[in-house]
Structure 1
Amino acid sequence: MKILFVSHAVPDVNGRGSERRAAQHLATLETLGEVTLVLPDSIAATAEGRGDAMSRLKVDRLVRRPDLTNAAIWNKRHENASGRISRAWAALHRRPEIDQAAPGRYHEECRALIDDDFDLIFAFRIASATWLDSFMPANSDSKAVRIVDFDDIESIGMTRNLPALRSSLFWQVMLRRWIKFTRQTEQRLCDSWDRVLVCSDHDIGEIRDRYGAKAIAVPNTVPFDRAESEPAPLPFRVLFVGTLSYGPNVAGIDWFVKEVWPSLHEALGSKIELVITGYDAPPEIMAFGEMDGVTVISPAESLTPLYAASHAVIAPILSGAGTRIKIIEAMAFGKAVVTTAVGCEGLAVENGEHLLIADEPKDFADAVLSLADDAALRRLVARRGREFGRDHFAPEAADEKLRAAIMAELGTASGGADARLCA
């Protein structure tokens, strides 16, 4: 079977959340046939600069597409515009990042890059589907089955992020236009592609209620072969892991440091430490490292020793959408987690059973203190969380669901999938 995998993220099992999910999909697709992977040239170049992410890719063919999209062209024009009128005109035409459609004059070039007949087209996230649809729409002559993984429902995340943005009235209006465009794009893909994937049963309901469509949940996963560890009792070390250039992570850790950390530090003093780690920390996050008891590591060479040295993991997420790999990963390392209702959305966990949930600063601080004060409770929550995570988020479960979704669509399209698999 010939498979076209279009992604806006480099598949990397050690990378950011979206890169890990892309790697998860690629691992399944590789077992089904010959995979052609398409990446934006700038994304591939950035990955090459990070080390061996590109060298680990196991694909039959890698295509690096030009970064010639509506979003890139108009956003560049805005950045380069001089004069108030020119900048205002360019600003009005700026496009959301999901608008990866190739302008018409580049359509032939894009078709030539792919230049093959495929049995399955798999787009990771709606930006990738938008790029492909711009020159090879779903109603074209192609007979390939089309599956798009929304991962997060991006219009929900954008809407939740809106109140936290300190923008002018003009940009508030523009952001609302982009949210509308994103909703329209999600609706179009639900209507025209053969199958939509999401990361949780919760998001299946959102797709049904918003767009009247059926989706399949393929969960985020991490390996559950990690060694569990319990560090020395003191200091009690709290760990935050996340891409530190991602808005919801920035807002969440900013909230924790400013609203929760002072009461924790007042209660325990030098007996508690906070470690913040992740890619691409901006200056305002790095500055937290100057506070008593706070360490910022960006990036970390390896997360394993940081998890091993930690007693608890926090995920103080207040916005965004989808399921958080950081929580699943903490469970895999056998760590008790404190998060918010938004942070654990879609994971189907129970408060006090698999982790602790708190939305107000005092409640969040009390939850962390309860884990610091009661080692038995901490170990119990960690053990139950790990067991729950292993049952629901181990790679085998996601591989089976994705494989079943693909086989079902191939069977529907051809009257049977066996012939394509043997091709």
Structure 2
Amino acid sequence: MMQLITIFKENGFDITFASPALDSDFMVDLSEFGVKKKSIELNNSSFDDFITELNPDVVLFDRFMIEEQFGWRVAENCPKAIRLLDTEDLHCLRTARQKAFKENRIFKLTDLLSEEVAKREIASILRCDLSYIISEFEMQILKDFFKIDAALLQYLPFLVEKMSREDLLQLPSFEDRKNFVFIGNFLHEPNWNTVQYLKESIWPSIKKQFTEAVLEVYGAYPSQKVLQLHQPKNGFFIMGRAEDANEIVKKAKVVLAPIRFGAGLKGKLLEAMQCGTPSVTSTIGSEAMNENLPWNGFIEDNPHEFAKKAISLYLDENLWLQSQKNGIPIVNECYLKDKYSEKLINRVNTLLNDSESHRLHNFMGNLLQHHTLKSTMYMSKWIEAKNKKV
């Protein structure tokens, strides 16, 4: 989201960030980016007055749940405004994979057809003028499986600056680094499951073969069940929130991320490449991240082999250095900001100049905007009326 805000700001857009979320001690100070901030309420017609007065040219929704809440209000009060959806990742894919994992079966794409979240998420994509999709794999699912018109989709991965071998020289060396590390918000179920998997299935094997091994697990919102995994005697440390994730990854020798379900791209693995830190991950973890370029470490799904490769990467300096170098072409070929930011703005400008024709050809989106199918609107109005009676 901050990358999107930065790109729009760099291209002359005046930005207002409106959110129903409560402020937190760790939120970004948007005023430093020249962005105005506005608190809004769910299921409240006060938003109608706000959006009418603001009268934006472009509205960007952060994930489909926000589009469900406010999309119909934007369409009703500012019908000419271009509606964009930042999907972050396909929630229906993550949910269906998680369900298949818990039921101990192999995930199939057809699982998505019975997933309630899929119906809501696809409807949201169809109602919007353009949706940003972070993964090429998810682009393929939307176009080939769900038959979404490519005119409604734009591939937009993480966007970073170019890397060079000289950048690696500015980072801590092999000798100056220590420990394995994992970083991930504990409220995110794929992260919590990964930590459990590390503790129960992978770390015992690593520790048996490499007795000096230490794993530091960082993440915000550690619950009591997370803190119970803290075992210093076994080299397994629950560290809590990272003050600066970048600095922690730079000092680590190897990132471990045996992710078993999820969707989208994994920011922790791109961050590892930028920090010159090799990683060992799973097929799900590396999905759509490297365009068949050599990984900056290993991709392994078998827990025993995962442990062996993590140890070899940690102890073998030549292997570690080569893996570190492998991250550079991945960053430069898959995630360059200059490669995608211009395309993003061009698509938005095209929509601003010819929204009527674009919407005319989005028949399914028009169908979902029809009053008989506006379930999100009527649900919101019902909740608002109910709240007024209290």
Query: What TM-score range do you get, normalising by the shorter chain?
Result: 0.7 to 0.9
Distance in 2 (CA, whole Å) between partners of 1:34 and 1:276 is 39
1:61-80 alignment to 2 at 5 Å? Answer: 61-66=36-41, 68=42
CA shift in 2, pair 1:37/1:352, >3 Å = closer
- Pick the aligned partner of 2:350 from 381, 387, 408: 408
Distance in 2 (CA, whole Å) between partners of 1:289 and 1:113 is 48
Match of 1:40 in 2: 20
Q: Is the 8 A contact 1:155 1:179 kept in 2?
A: no
The aligned amino acid for 2:219 is G
Gaps in structure 1 of 5+ consecutive residues: 1-21, 69-101, 167-175, 416-423
CA shift in 2, pair 1:186/1:351, >3 Å = same
Distance in 1 (CA, whole Å) between partners of 2:40 and 2:62 is 15
1:9-28 alignment to 2 at 5 Å? Answer: 22-28=1-7
Secondary structure at the aligned position of 2:228 is classed as helix
CA shift in 2, pair 1:400/1:250, >3 Å = same
1:230-379 alignment to 2 at 5 Å? Answer: 230-232=173-175, 236-270=178-212, 272-291=213-232, 292-350=234-292, 352-379=294-321
The aligned amino acid for 2:119 is Q
Which stretch shifts more, 297-306 or 50-59? 50-59
Deviation at 1:195, TM superposition (A): 1.1
Secondary structure at the aligned position of 2:132 is classed as strand
Distance in 2 (CA, whole Å) between partners of 1:353 and 1:290 is 31
- Pick the aligned partner of 2:81 from 116, 119, 144: 144
CA shift in 2, pair 1:123/1:179, >3 Å = farther
Measured against aligned partners, the alpha-carbon deviations of 1:383-414 in whole angstroms (never above 9, x if no partner) come to: 11133213322333342332232223223327
Q: What percent of counterpart residues are identical?
A: 19
The aligned amino acid for 1:205 is Q
Match of 1:111 in 2: 48
Which stretch shifts more, 376-385 or 305-314? 305-314
Deviation at 1:354, TM superposition (A): 3.5
- Where relative contact order (Cα < 8 A, 6+ residues apart) is larger, the structure is 2
Deviation at 1:41, TM superposition (A): 4.0
Displacement over 6 Å in runs of 4+: 176-179
Match of 1:228 in 2: 171
Which stretch shifts more, 225-234 or 362-371? 225-234
Distance in 1 (CA, whole Å) between partners of 2:117 and 2:161 is 33
Distance in 1 (CA, whole Å) between partners of 2:240 and 2:161 is 23
Match of 2:325 in 1: 383
Deviation at 1:119, TM superposition (A): 1.5
Secondary structure at the aligned position of 1:296 is classed as strand
Q: Is the 8 A contact 2:259 2:285 kept in 1?
A: yes
Aligned residues: 340
The aligned amino acid for 1:358 is E
Distance in 1 (CA, whole Å) between partners of 2:112 and 2:347 is 33
Distance in 1 (CA, whole Å) between partners of 2:31 and 2:229 is 35
Distance in 1 (CA, whole Å) between partners of 2:284 and 2:197 is 14
Deviation at 1:55, TM superposition (A): 4.7
Distance in 2 (CA, whole Å) between partners of 1:179 and 1:288 is 35
CA shift in 2, pair 1:253/1:349, >3 Å = farther
Which stretch shifts more, 23-32 or 385-394? 385-394
Q: Return the TM-score normalized by structure 1.
A: 0.73
Measured against aligned partners, the alpha-carbon deviations of 1:237-262 in whole angstroms (never above 9, x if no partner) come to: 11111112210000012101210111
- Pick the aligned partner of 1:50 from 14, 26, 30: 26
Deviation at 1:160, TM superposition (A): 1.2
Gaps in structure 2 of 5+ consecutive residues: 104-110, 358-390
Which stretch shifts more, 336-345 or 275-284? 275-284
Q: Is the 8 A contact 1:218 1:401 kept in 2?
A: no
- When the two chains are superposed, the root-mean-square deviation of aligned CA atoms in Å is 2.8
Match of 2:92 in 1: 155
Q: Return the TM-score normalized by structure 2.
A: 0.79
1:139-218 alignment to 2 at 5 Å? Answer: 142-163=79-100, 180-213=115-148, 214=150, 215-218=153-156
Q: Is the 8 A contact 2:281 2:298 kept in 1?
A: yes
Deviation at 1:133, TM superposition (A): 2.1
Match of 1:120 in 2: 58
